[in-house]
Structure 1
Amino acid sequence: MNSRVRSRRDVLRGALVGGAAFGLGLGLRPGQAFAQDSTGTPDAGPIGEFKISLAQWSLHKRYFASGDTAKANLGFPRDAREGFGIEGVEFVNQFFKDKARDEAYLKELKQRADDQGVECLLIMIDGEGSLSHKDPAQRNQAVENHKKWVDAAKALDCHSIRVNTGDNYSATEVADAVDGCSALAEYAKSVGLNIICENHGGPSSDPDALIALIKGVGMDNFGTLPDFGNFPTKGPREEHDYSIDIYDAIARLMPFAKGVSAKSFDFDDQGHEIFLDYPRIMKIVTDAGYNGYVGIEYEGGRLSELEGILATKSLLESLSGAKYEPKG
């Protein structure tokens, strides 16, 4: 273990023991501030205005069925703009897996986005190895694998790549994860990009563990992408041996957020998301001082992808600038 890892681990332990707010402000955009602590039980008040983007995974069935995902991916900016009236897109690397170093392809993709007046926001990265692997050689290889996607995101003028942090860390031991994520964040910082971590299974869906990692890295370009739906819960959708209060978890991740993933599954006749209290969540987002893009990620089965995206967009639009009233 190198001295950089030992130093970061010692700092983290001191923060956990002493209650220090190490790295508390990571992920806040310029002009954001903590007017009040973000909490999972917000008070009544206005929900802030925000912009809506589209996460490409919302259309994964369409693109995987296309027979040529790289070609279909070139049409994503048009699909977002002309199909849904959305002007910000969040790519998924699975659809152009072998194009990260293809300068001509990336140039064409960026031009197509520009032609549509669509902003490229981030690339969600899967399948490039564990940034927290206990084997230093495999961990370092994962860092190297991710660097090409940092470069691709830079070519598209994105602000971030979303990474999977791997399984080898916890709320009390993050040394290996800090080592891998720090190395990648340092590379991204050199080209002006962010590395962001979604609650995406494993320890990343435990807010204690993910926040420990964020604080352990302690870099201003290393933050979170809170997803409304990716927490282990006991409820109507799925059963686990333990549960996490998703509203509290979102509130805890929001101070470090550089993006927000509006996961949705199904809707009632009034257009409300059945499994998630969207007004409550968006008030939590507001109270954290966030006013950037909120990305639609529809993953339901009853509605088609088209219907689910439009239903999520309609719900989000109804909440932007609305008044939040807690349920009795």
Structure 2
Amino acid sequence: MSLARRQFLQTAAATAAAMATVPRWAFAGEKKVVPYRISLAEWSLHKAIRGGELKNLDFARVSKEEFGINGIEYVSQLWEDKQAGSEYVGKVKQAAADAGVESVLIMVDSEGALGDADDAKRTQAIDNHKKWLEAAKELGCHAIRVNAQSSGSYAEQLALAADGLGRLGEIADQYGLNVLVENHGGLSSNGAWLAGVMKRVGRPNVGTLPDFGNFCISGRGTPEAVWYDRYQGMEELMPFAKAVSAKSYDFNEDGDAIETDYYRVMKIVLNHGYSGWVGIEYEGSAVGEYEGIKRTKALLEKIRDAA
């Protein structure tokens, strides 16, 4: 057993002992209040969807029937028409209602750089995201996930990204929605930089969606790859987190993730008082998407049940 796993279980045991003294009213309907809920990111099924085995409109049903997951996170680039037209959004909403699942958020890509150095392009990117805010509102989501692409020096990119995100956050506030930034390459995968952007924005509805695995700043898949320490990054991003992405690739014979120490990273998540959705985002290739989702869910459940 790894040191991190022993430490997590020791913390969980201490928590359980403390819970024994908690009054009965601290439990809802006599059930233990769980520290987080498990959702499914649509990207976990991107191969099946892009391969024609599934459609975006199948996502809600498959999440519930195949995996017993009640919260779903859409990916804009996997929608059939790649846009948030009202008629199509109605179909997505009905599919979720028919399956009995909750629409958590929409991950939005390819709508322009919110930190573009060109003022006009940055404004256009902000405007491009409005239709996804409208779709998220209609679906009952709490947020859209966006990216913080920019260019220039460290400080210049921080200022530009903060401007674009802050302005989008003002618009999102009108919809009662959050704007969440994922560590997704470039400086956004530098935990200190993205935390600095959040502090610069200073809006309660603009936060982060920390992803366990997306801490490669450049050169991913090459010998020259530059990586930011994922555990340090999680510590820096969790104070602003309103969603969490449980990225997974491969697993060992005990069912534990190989690339990320889930016990260590989930201890960080819980130590920051997080109790929202933790979204499964399987990207491995050793097993198929369905099996990878099931293994990630089993690992998250094992950790949750010990907490």
Shift of 1:315: 0.5
* C-alpha distance in structure 2 between counterparts of 1:243 and 1:104, whole Å: 42
Shift of 1:102: 2.2
User: Residue 209 of structure 2 contacts residue 241 of structure 2 at CA under 8 Å; is this kept in 1?
Assistant: yes
User: Residue 42 of structure 1 contacts residue 284 of structure 1 at CA under 8 Å; is this kept in 2?
Assistant: no
Shift of 1:267: 0.5
Partner of 1:178: 162
* C-alpha distance in structure 1 between counterparts of 2:152 and 2:80, whole Å: 27
Q: Pick from 256, 264, 267: which aligns with 2:251?
A: 267
Identity value in percent: 49
Q: Pick from 312, 315, 318: which aligns with 2:296?
A: 312
Code of the residue aligned with 2:263 in structure 1: it is P
Q: Pick from 15, 40, 46: which aligns with 1:54?
A: 40
1:185-228 per-position Cα deviation (integer Å, ceiling 9, x unaligned): 11001110000000000110011211111111110000000000
Q: Pick from 51, 63, 72: which aligns with 2:49?
A: 63
Structure 1 residues not aligned, in runs of 5+ = 1-40, 324-328
User: Residue 161 of structure 1 contacts residue 194 of structure 1 at CA under 8 Å; is this kept in 2?
Assistant: yes
Q: Count residues in correspondence.
A: 279
Code of the residue aligned with 2:47 in structure 1: it is K
Find runs of 4+ consecutive structure 1 residues off by over 6 angstroms.
Answer: none
Code of the residue aligned with 2:142 in structure 1: it is H
* C-alpha distance in structure 1 between counterparts of 2:225 and 2:244, whole Å: 27
User: Residue 233 of structure 1 contacts residue 239 of structure 1 at CA under 8 Å; is this kept in 2?
Assistant: no
Query: Which SS does the other structure have where 1:54 is aligned?
Result: strand
Q: How does 1:1-328 map to 2 (within 5 A)?
A: 44-46=10-12, 49-66=35-52, 72-96=55-79, 98=81, 100-168=83-151, 171-173=154-156, 174-232=158-216, 239-240=223-224, 242-322=226-306
Query: Which SS does the other structure have where 1:45 is aligned?
Result: helix
- Aligned-residue Cα RMSD (Å) equals 2.3
* C-alpha distance in structure 1 between counterparts of 2:298 and 2:292, whole Å: 10
Code of the residue aligned with 1:317 in structure 2: it is E
Code of the residue aligned with 2:291 in structure 1: it is E
Q: TM (normalized to structure 1)? A: 0.80
Q: TM (normalized to structure 2)? A: 0.85
Q: Per the alignment, do residues 153 and 170 of structure 1 end up closer, same or farther by CA in structure 2, a change over 3 Å counting?
A: farther
Structure 2 residues not aligned, in runs of 5+ = 1-6, 16-33
